[in-house]
Amino acid sequence: MALPKIDYPTINIAIPPENKTYMFRPMLVKEEKLLLMAKVSEDDTDILQAIKQVVTNCCIETSLDVDTLPLYALEYVFIKLRGFSVGDVISVSYRDLEDNKSYDFTVDLNKVEIKFPEGIDKIIKITDTSGIVMKYPSAGIYSEVKQAEKDLYSILDWIKTSQFQNSA
């Protein structure tokens, strides 16, 4: 069995926090169209879904599940993929709400890093013998929370069932 021929340049991106490396191809016009359609909708859920779809489409390896990635890791991969596909330096405009002035600057996407604070304990102790182990929210959880945010009982039920599913 022969390996598939890759027609595009590739990049290896180490995804935090485990720094497992995956191979990606650049974004194509179809991925840029997905992003543009999501931007036009101005819905956060659509934008996140488009980013997840772009990362999934561009990942050459099938073992990457974007729904299990922490949200910050998905954003990091997307930034690196965007830099590889379109260009490393982007122009950004920021409007300061205090002085109502716009400031223009550039960002080099190759210099974007994730800095983890030291000394953070992910265990919240309730008593001396019990506690809660926290984790970063995954990219797949965002749409679930958006659907349930208006109904408090749904949120509480979701937390209860997630707790038991994650501990198994």
Packing angle of the helix pair 141-148, 152-167 (nearest 10 deg): 150
pLDDT classification of 75: cutoffs 50, 70, 90? very high
Taking the domains of the chain in order of start, what are their residue ranges?
11-167
Put simply, whether the predicted model's pTM sits higher than 0.85 gets the answer no
Each residue's pLDDT tens digit, 12-66: 999 888 889 999 999 989 999 998 998 998 888 888 899 999 999 999 988 889 9
Q: What is the pLDDT of residues 103-134, one digit of tens each?
A: 999 999 888 888 878 888 888 888 888 888 88
In this predicted model, which residue has the larger pLDDT, 142 or 11?
A: 11
What is residue 6's predicted lDDT score, i.e. its pLDDT?
Answer: 67
Are residues 139 and 66 in contact, defined by beta-carbon separation less than 8 angstroms? yes
